[in-house]
């Protein structure tokens, strides 16, 4: 398969780490046309994964629906449990992870979001991402029952348990088919496909690097900043294909390393709210926005110059499925 670049944007409310049901300000959505114009210049087709407050807002969905109707993006689902009805769970940090909720409540929330999206778009959404990466067997079972085909919630080499979330340390780093019963097990006849965010290392042999990283993070020596030292020495440089954490040069370096290690699908991910300075932890000043966009453009330019196709999650999944 020819290499492709998928771009997944979590389109959500302005609040960041507040987890409040009533907070549904959506000022950041007005920044999407500027972002989309950048994608359009390269012929890139992003996948906008939207939360329930976005779907419930006619103006926001009118903007996104117009882009989607012109074939310039895909729209999928992004479920924040704290503001997706029904909200019956106690308010707690642990419950911000969808995977920690009862299976019946998980299904009801995703069904609410799915039905709202279907009503707005006139079509079944096919791509899904759990808020805060809170994915597990109960979430997988629900999205399969509700007609989704592709998930993008699993973060390879990453353990969220200290925050109350799942452990993806042993997750595959390349797309794979799976069944809800075991979300990290590759099943050639699986009913769901995982196209995860691109996460890896600036070196060859990702598997060996991952084992080394896990041993260090589980060891007391991690307290002495060994990980940072190994990163500076480029012995164990761990990277995520996101402009929220890394600049354009670092992301291109990861993309090259990922492709050298046999990867064929790159997935660059970030949040729409990052475009609105002061609302997330990443950008605080308006002057940072052009720099942030330039980091995204560095990856787009790299793809265009190296024959890497641009693809939505849905299109990439359709091409991958016969090959997995």
Q: What is the 3-state secondary structure (H, E, C) of 247-306?
A: CHHHHHHHHHHHHHCCCCEEEEEEEHHHHCCCCCCCCCCCCHHHHHHHHHHHHHHHHHHC
Residue pair 308/266 in contact (Cβ under 8 Å)? The answer is yes
- Phi, psi torsion values for 149, nearest 5 degrees: -115, -30
Q: Examine the domain organization and report whether 137 and 56 are in the same domain.
A: yes
CA 40 to chain centre: 20
What was the pLDDT predicted at 233? 44
Q: Examine the domain organization and report whether 104 and 253 are in the same domain.
A: yes
Residue pair 315/45 in contact (Cβ under 8 Å)? The answer is yes
Question: What integer is the mean pLDDT of 160-169?
Answer: 94
Among candidate residues 16, 59, 41, the one with its CA nearest the CA of residue 293: 41
Summarised one tens digit per residue, pLDDT across range 101-119 is: 999 999 999 999 999 999 9
> How many other C-beta atoms can be found within 10 angstroms of the C-beta atom of residue 151?
25
Block residue for tokens 């995520």: 240
**Percent of the chain whose predicted confidence (pLDDT) is above 90:** 85
pLDDT grade for 234, boundaries at 50, 70 and 90: low
Higher pLDDT, 103 or 1: 103
Query: What is the span of the domain harbouring residue 228?
Result: 203-236
Q: Examine the domain organization and report whether 194 and 268 are in the same domain.
A: yes
| Token pair in block for residue 186 | 């590759």
pLDDT grade for 93, boundaries at 50, 70 and 90: very high
SS3 38: helix
Mean pLDDT of the chain: 93
Q: Examine the domain organization and report whether 243 and 232 are in the same domain.
A: no
Picking from 59-73, 83-97, 206-220, 277-291, which range would have the lowest pLDDT averaged per residue?
A: 206-220
End-to-end CA distance of the chain: 11
Question: What integer is the mean pLDDT of 4-33?
Answer: 92
The domain tally of the chain equals 2
Q: Examine the domain organization and report whether 194 and 292 are in the same domain.
A: yes
| Token pair in block for residue 51 | 């939360």
Relative orientation angle of helices 137-145 and 103-121, to the nearest 10 degrees? 40
What was the pLDDT predicted at 121? 94
What was the pLDDT predicted at 225? 55
- Whole-angstrom distance, CA of residue 259 vs CA of residue 71: 28
Q: Examine the domain organization and report whether 247 and 221 are in the same domain.
A: no
User: Does position 232 have pLDDT exceeding 60, yes or no?
Assistant: no
Higher pLDDT, 23 or 167: 167
Summarised one tens digit per residue, pLDDT across range 279-310 is: 999 999 999 999 999 999 999 999 999 999 99
Picking from 12-16, 166-170, 202-206, 242-246, which range would have the lowest pLDDT averaged per residue?
A: 202-206
Examine the fold and report which residue of 215, 236, 257 is the final residue of a domain before the chain moves on: 236
**pTM for the model:** 0.94
What was the pLDDT predicted at 206? 75
What was the pLDDT predicted at 73? 98
- Whole-angstrom distance, CA of residue 266 vs CA of residue 255: 7
Name beta bridge partners: 5: 266, 310
User: Does position 226 have pLDDT exceeding 80, yes or no?
Assistant: no
Q: Examine the domain organization and report whether 85 and 216 are in the same domain.
A: no
Give the CATH number, domain containing residue 35.
3.20.20.370
What was the pLDDT predicted at 18? 85
Residue pair 33/293 in contact (Cβ under 8 Å)? The answer is no
| Token pair in block for residue 284 | 């605080």
pLDDT grade for 177, boundaries at 50, 70 and 90: very high
Q: Examine the domain organization and report whether 221 and 255 are in the same domain.
A: no
- Whole-angstrom distance, CA of residue 134 vs CA of residue 132: 5
Q: Examine the domain organization and report whether 296 and 190 are in the same domain.
A: yes
- Phi, psi torsion values for 271, nearest 5 degrees: -110, 145
């Amino acid at each position: 398969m020819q290499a492709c670049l998928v771009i997944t944007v979590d389109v959500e409310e302005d609040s960041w780490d507040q987890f409040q049901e009533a907070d549904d300000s959506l000022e950041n959505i007005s920044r999407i046309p500027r972002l989309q114009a950048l994608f359009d210049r390269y012929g890139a087709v992003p996948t906008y994964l939207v939360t329930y407050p976005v779907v419930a807002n006619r103006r926001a969905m009118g903007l996104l629906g117009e882009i989607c109707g012109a074939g310039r993006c895909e729209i999928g689902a992004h479920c924040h449990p704290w503001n997706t009805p029904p909200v019956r769970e106690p308010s707690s940090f642990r419950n911000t992870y969808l995977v920690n909720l009862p299976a019946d409540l998980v299904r009801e929330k995703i069904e609410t979001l799915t039905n709202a999206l279907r009503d707005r778009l006139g079509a079944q959404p096919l791509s899904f991402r759990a808020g805060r990466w809170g994915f597990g067997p109960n979430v997988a079972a629900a999205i399969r029952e509700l007609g989704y085909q592709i998930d993008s919630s699993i973060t390879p080499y990453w353990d969220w348990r200290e925050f109350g979330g799942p452990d993806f340390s042993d997750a595959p780093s390349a797309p794979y088919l799976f069944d809800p019963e075991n979300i990290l097990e590759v099943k050639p006849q699986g009913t769901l496909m995982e196209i995860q965010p691109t996460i890896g290392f600036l070196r060859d042999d990702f598997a060996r690097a991952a084992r080394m990283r896990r041993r260090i993070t589980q060891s007391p020596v991690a307290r002495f900043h060994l990980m940072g030292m190994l990163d500076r020495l480029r012995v164990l440089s761990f990277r995520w294909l996101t402009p929220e954490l890394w600049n354009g040069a670092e992301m291109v370096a990861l993309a090259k390393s990922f492709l050298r290690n046999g990867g064929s699908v790159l997935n660059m991910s970030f949040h729409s709210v990052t475009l609105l300075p002061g609302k997330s932890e990443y950008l605080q000043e308006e002057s940072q926005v052009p720099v942030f966009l330039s980091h995204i453009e560095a990856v787009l330019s790299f793809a265009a110059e190296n024959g890497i196709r641009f693809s939505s999650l849905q299109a990439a999944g359709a091409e991958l499925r016969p090959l997995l």
